Structure 1
Amino acid sequence: MLVSITGGTGYVGSHTVDAVLRAGHRVRLLVRDESTVERALRPLGVDVGAVEVVRGDVLDRAGVEGLVRGADAVVHAAAVFSFDSRNHRGMARTAVEGTELVLDAARRAGVGRTVYVSTFGALLPSRGRALGVDSPVGRPRETYLAAKAAAESVAREHQAAGAPVTISYPPALLGPHDPKLGDQVTRVRNALRGLMPIWPTGGLPVGDVRDTAALHARLLGGGLVGDRHFGPGEYLSMRRFVGVLREVTGRALPAVHLPARAMLPLGALVGVVQRVWPWHIPAEYGAIYTCAHAAWVGEGVAGGRAGRPVGETFADTVRWLHREGLLSDRAAGIAAGLRVV
């Protein structure tokens, strides 16, 4: 089966490419810069020469049509994921117009199955209820989440019209090999570098990028019942999040936890300052907002299969950051096989 993938050089996308190839399928990617393919896929052990490449992006109709032409399945994973206010420009257009263009092109090309990669955050605020496949599209008051909620509505409209679209909802993802060092992995790095002494209360579902990628490969086979699936993960309070980091590194990591809702004005102020401040400030409104409004995922809806233990995911993330020179020996602690003194 030929599987065409958008966002294949990103975090979720590159791991999905690996999982799809391991499942025995062929892969075609839509990329703006062909040099990014090797940087993203080679560390995963992917034979880059076996991957077909179409040049373009999700807002380029000709490129998208070339991507889906002759494909048996499509995975639409392209998105601008960031809570950094400097990255907000164009975020909604990429999410909404890109999803409209890819899903419409796949339908017109007669693609047998399209997997749209959403996020649990598209269903927020949860209002305290467990998230499930029947949860309504959210109305989040945050730029990235609002963009994903709007794109979610597009995908559901295609489903309602009878198009063969399946939606996946990844949790907040960690794990090794993040080609672009996105927000979640950066958050772990900042915490271990001592840049995050203050944390919000609340929490969020957390999972392993490799488990979500494996779910995408399974969805292409059509063996799972239903057209909406949550990626495997576990709901973690922010206290537990920091606690797992302590466990895998053996470090004390002093932290103060403040009510998430009370921290929202601070996050909004940081977002304004961040637009003119050249260095990243690790106190993002979007992250605080998510912690304040997220809820657990209901039992039996997380991809039909349990994910790997959260401690394993955290440890693998820290070890990868250390191997890449993005964490010092001291910061990585026992996760890097080093004694903590």
Structure 2
Amino acid sequence: MLVLVTGGTGFLGSHSVAEILRAGHRVRLLVRDPAGVVPALDPLGVDVDGLELFRGDVTDADAVAAAMRGCDAVLHAASVYSFDSRARAAMRAVNVRGTELVLDAAGVAGLDPIVYVSSFAALLPTDREPLGTESPVGTPRETYMSTKARAEAVARRAQRAGAPVVITYPLATLGPHDPKLGDQAGRVRNALRGLMPMWPSGGFPVGDVRDVARLHAAVLNPGRGPRRFLAQGRYVSTREFVRTLRRVTGRRLPAVHLPASGMLPVGALTSLVQRLVPAHIPAEYGAIYTCLVGRAVDTTATDQLLGSAGTTFETTLRDTVRWLHRAGHISDRLAGATAVLEAT
């Protein structure tokens, strides 16, 4: 099977490409900048020379349609994932319009399956717990989450129309080798740097990028029709997050936990200030809001599909810190016990 992958040089996309190739499929990448292919995929053991590259953007209808010619299936992983308020225009263009174009073109081209990478955030906020594949589309009060909810509505309309759309819902995803050091790995780095002494109460579901990649390879079967799968993982409170980070690094990491509802106005003010400040400010409205509305998840169907319950949170966090250290994003001192393990 020849699989078109969008977003293949990103965190989820690159790991998914590696897993799809291991499953025996061929891959064509739709990329804006081919120069990013080797740095993203070579560290994962991908033979880049064996990939087909098509230069283009998911917001370009002609490029999307041309890239799909001759393909059997598509994994649409391209997305702008950020709580940085400066990226709001790009999020609306890529996350919403890009999804409309890719899913429409895939339907016209007769691809099967059409895998759309959504997010658990598209189902928030909700009074229902746990989050599941039948949870309604949310109406979140944050730009990234809102764009993913709007794109989720697009994907569900296609499912109702009978298109073979498979929707996956990655959780807050961590793990090794993030080519662009996105929000989640960046948050761990900031915590280790002492830039996050205050944490909101609550929590959020966390998963491992390698489990998401295995899910994407596992759903590439034609003829199964519309399906939905929450990626593996579990709800982690912010207190547990900090405790686990202390445990894997052996560091004290002092932290104060405050009510998320009380921190929201600070996050909202920070988002406004961020639009005027070139340096990134760690206190993000979206991260605080996620902790406030985060819920447990039901991953039973995915566990059955993959035959296991996925990677433990402690393993995921330890491997994330190890990679941050190995890649030079944090020093020996910041990595703590993890640096000692790397050296032995």
Q: TM-score, normalised by structure 2?
A: 0.96
Residues 230, 303 of structure 1: 8 Å contact kept: no
CA-CA distance at 1:129 after TM superposition:
2.1
Residues 76, 102 of structure 2: 8 Å contact kept: yes
Aligned partner of 2:320: which letter? T
What is the alpha-carbon distance in structure 2 between the residues aligned to residue 298 and residue 261 of structure 1?
25
Match of 2:166 in 1: 166
For 1:261-300, list aligned pairs within 5 A: 261-298=261-298, 300=300
Match of 2:120 in 1: 120
**SS of aligned partner of 1:98:** helix
CA-CA distance at 1:263 after TM superposition:
0.6
Q: Percent identity?
A: 61
What is the alpha-carbon distance in structure 1 between the residues aligned to residue 181 and residue 317 of structure 2?
15
Residues 200, 291 of structure 1: 8 Å contact kept: yes
CA-CA distance at 1:301 after TM superposition:
3.8
Residues 123, 138 of structure 2: 8 Å contact kept: yes
Match of 2:247 in 1: 247
What is the alpha-carbon distance in structure 2 between the residues aligned to residue 233 and residue 211 of structure 1?
9
Match of 2:338 in 1: 335
CA-CA distance at 1:10 after TM superposition:
0.4
Residues 164, 224 of structure 2: 8 Å contact kept: no
> Residues 234-258 of structure 1, C-alpha deviation per residue, up to 9 Å, x if partnerless?
1100000111101110111110000
2:323 paired residue among 320, 329, 334: 320
CA-CA distance at 1:92 after TM superposition:
1.2
**SS of aligned partner of 1:205:** strand
CA-CA distance at 1:298 after TM superposition:
2.2
Listed as ranges, the gaps of 5+ residues in structure 1 are none
CA-CA distance at 1:67 after TM superposition:
1.7
What is the alpha-carbon distance in structure 1 between the residues aligned to residue 289 and residue 223 of structure 2?
35
Change (3 A) 1:124 1:4: same
**SS of aligned partner of 1:74:** strand
Aligned partner of 1:201: which letter? S
CA-CA distance at 1:86 after TM superposition:
1.4
Report the number of matched residues: 339
For 1:21-170, list aligned pairs within 5 A: 21-127=21-127, 129-170=129-170
Q: Does 1:308 pair with 2:311?
A: yes
CA-CA distance at 1:112 after TM superposition:
1.6
What is the alpha-carbon distance in structure 1 between the residues aligned to residue 221 and residue 251 of structure 2?
43
> Residues 15-69 of structure 1, C-alpha deviation per residue, up to 9 Å, x if partnerless?
0000000001000000011100111101111000011000101011121112211
What is the alpha-carbon distance in structure 2 between the residues aligned to residue 112 and residue 186 of structure 1?
35
Change (3 A) 1:296 1:102: same
Aligned partner of 2:296: which letter? W
What is the alpha-carbon distance in structure 2 between the residues aligned to residue 335 and residue 220 of structure 1?
36
> Residues 185-239 of structure 1, C-alpha deviation per residue, up to 9 Å, x if partnerless?
0000000011100000111110100100110000103698960000001110000
CA-CA distance at 1:5 after TM superposition:
0.4
CA-CA distance at 1:126 after TM superposition:
2.0
Residues 203, 237 of structure 1: 8 Å contact kept: yes
Q: TM-score, normalised by structure 1?
A: 0.97
CA-CA distance at 1:338 after TM superposition:
5.7
CA-CA distance at 1:90 after TM superposition:
2.5
**SS of aligned partner of 1:326:** coil
Q: Does 1:236 pair with 2:232?
A: no
